[in-house]
Structure 1
Amino acid sequence: MLGRSTNRWGRACLLAAACVAAAPALADTFPDKPIKLVVPFPPGGSTDVLGRLLARKLSETLNASVVVENRAGAGTIVGADYVAKSTPDGYTLLLSAATTFTINPVTYAKLPYDPLKSFDAIGLVGTTTLGLVANTSVKANTLKELVAASRQGQAFAFGSYGAGTTAHFVGEMINAATGMHMMHVPYKGSAPAMSDLIGNQIPLTVDTVVAAAPMVKAGKVKVLALASSTRSALLPDVPTAAESGYPDINLTTWFAVVGPKGLAAPVRQKLEGALATVMKDADMRKSMTTNGYEAEYGTAADYVKRVNSEIPRLRKIAEAANIKAD
């Protein structure tokens, strides 16, 4: 009996020793084949652009090929679910927006993934600022002036690039903070919403500064306020909602890189280190700014903190405004 127990103890020790020895080896050999960076949006979109910037820099840092694979559909659910169910070996990663991690969990009754239980975070990579955009026929030039016009009886509607999107949430934040009752008009994307705004079919939209900046410079629209804590480099003259007296209007579209739950510690640490290095790179940060992103690196712990703090906040807004995904 004692012999069998001793043998079992010996085998356990050998197994533990083998695992300890394997960890450095795994860190040394990873990656030894191409890494897929899944972007759950169609090619050519803003997240796809960010994905390709990241893929290029990660390839240089890891000395291995990192390729973007677009898996769009169902409000990012298709791509996110694919990564969540992938083998947790570090060769399949997801780059996605807050839509995946905090919007979907409060707008869908059921999801095939969980933003914390299904993924191991690698890190946060940046944000995109949203703003309240008006067509040139709207007399108000600031958020305060718009609120004043609303209190005098003028009715307004705001468009967004879809029901249950970050833009929709920002519009409802504006309603809640200011007491306005702007009607929401959902569009299938930013382009048709912006087209109707310019064509005076709708007075206001909530959209990203990336979409709005070229139209502002062309004199076709104006941005009344930004839903961020700081001004945007693309529209430095536009004040934040907080500067306008409404600090509760603050919601950005943020982006994170995650892998499937269960990544080996050496692999996860190597990916985290590579992402941190990339986000410190001056060329990467400049490219992000040029494409309308605020380079904002955050650790895996920062991702967890943001998800945990943002979901309850968004859930309250969703319940109050009855926001549900299409």
Structure 2
Amino acid sequence: MIGRRALGAALAAAALPLAAFPLSALAQPGGKVLSLVVPFAPGGPTDLIARRLAMLLQEVLGQTVVVENRAGAGGNVGAEYVARAAADGQTVLFGTSGPLAINQMLYPGQTYDPLKDFAPVGPLGRIPNVLAVHPDIPARSVAELVALGKGGRALAYGSSGNGASSHLSGALFNSMAGTRFEHIPYRGTGPALNDVLAGHIAMVFTDVLTALPHIQSGRLRALGVTTAARSAVLPETPTIAEQGLPGYDASVFFGLVVPAATPAPAREALRRALEGALRQEAMRRFLESQGMQLAPEVTPAALSALMASEAARWGAVIRETGAKAD
């Protein structure tokens, strides 16, 4: 692990080329704190990544940055809080696919429009799920699993809840493969994974980092990762797309947004701070260790296009499968 002194030195050195930041755009009288809102509970992978990013943003911006957890409704509680916050560049949403693209189709009562009520800052990247089965399931590839399902064997997959990426990954799989694997929602990733490990259900679509130790120990068998490209964390595991389902792509993306009326100089300061943070070798290694595939371009346009395309793609899946949120 990199020590605090070494990390601080690296950050200071890397911050030098960023001296042209319009940091005054974020300066507030009285040393106002910049709030990085995480729309999920503390302790999860999203929270962990946000806290590491907050430390780097604080170093680059020279301003106190705190993580504020506002969980609920699949991320909608925190997202709505940011959408209605003062547009002064001091309240930033650490968003994911749910609140930034998918939830609007799953929660009829959602009161904000992600494309109208937010101004994108930039994306961080994507984290894939992995399709993993209990070792007793006689399938060592996606094709064999599909054959089992079509051969009449009743198989179920668990998820962290209705509308979660682990649910929608399975819904997309059923739609593309022509299978009818039963979806069983749980109250979180842990309970779903525990039931697969115990052999109560056959499989799960879950993030690669959570599944990795169980795959390495042999308690789970990885059949395929859900992104278009293989995961650096599981390089020997082929993608689902390359195993007979071309075009299959299901992952969670991460990005920063601010209230729509936030002035352009403040948005640009945040964007350049994010880009600078993601250039840090320590940060890149950390994100890749979490299974993240880093965004090739850290721009508002890249995040805006991602939000729109994901909303369109998952909207079609949700309409076809009838997926609903809890």
Provide the TM-score with structure 2 as the length reference. 0.89
Structure 1 Cα separation of the partners of residues 181 and 247 of structure 2:
17
Listed as ranges, the matches of 1:214-293 within 5 Å are 214-293=213-292
For 2:290 and 2:79, locate their aligned partners in 1 and report how far apart those are by CA, in whole Å: 24
Q: CA contact under 8 A between 1:103 and 1:165: conserved in structure 2?
A: no
Instruction: Give yes or no for contact 1:103–1:166 (8 Å, CA) kept in 2.
Output: no
Contact 2:241 2:247 in 1 (8 A): yes
Tell me by how many angstroms 1:298 deviates: 3.1
Aligned partners of 2:26 and 2:90 also within 8 Å: no
The equivalent of 2:77 in structure 1 is 78
Match of 1:319 in 2: 319
Aligned residues: 303
SS of match in other structure, 2:73: coil
Q: Which moved more, 1:288-297 or 1:266-275?
A: 288-297
Counterpart in the other structure of 2:167:
168
State the superposition RMSD in angstroms.
1.6
Q: Is the CA contact 1:177–1:248 (under 8 Å) kept in the aligned structure 2?
A: no
Deviations 1:78-137 (A, max 9, x none): 111111110000011110210111120111113111111111111101211112110011
Q: Matched residue of 1:180: which SS?
A: coil
Mark the runs of 5 or more structure 2 residues left unpaired by the alignment.
1-19
**Hey, what's the Cα distance between the residues in 2 that align with 1:27 and 1:39?**
23
2:104 is the counterpart of 1:108? no
SS of residue paired to 2:115: coil
Find the aligned partners of 1:298 and 1:155 in 2 and give their Cα distance. Answer: 44
Secondary structure in 2 matching 1:76: helix
SS in 2 for 1:106: helix
In the alignment, the residues of structure 2 paired with residue 87 and residue 235 of structure 1 have an alpha-carbon distance, to the nearest angstrom, of 42
Partner of 1:47 in structure 2?
46
2:26 corresponds in structure 1 to 30
Alpha-carbon distance in 1 for matches of 2:52, 2:293: 14
Match of 2:91 in 1: 92
Task: Give the superposition deviation at 1:29.
Answer: 5.4
Q: Which residue of 1 aligns with 2:305?
A: 305
AA at the equivalent of 2:69: N
The answer to whether the 8 Å contact 2:271/2:298 transfers is no
Residues 170 and 249, structure 1, Cα contact 8 Å, conserved in 2: no
Equivalent-residue separation in structure 2 for 1:31 and 1:38 (angstroms): 19
Q: Which runs of 5+ in 1 are unaligned?
A: 1-23
Which amino acid is 2:256 matched to?
A: V
> Rg bigger for which structure?
1
Question: Shift in Å at residue 179 of structure 1?
Answer: 0.8
Determine the C-alpha separation between the residues in 1 that align with 2:23 and 2:274.
15
State, as a whole percentage, how many aligned pairs show the same letter: 36
Amino acid at match of 1:317: V
| Equivalent residues in 2 for 1:7-26, closer than 5 Å | none
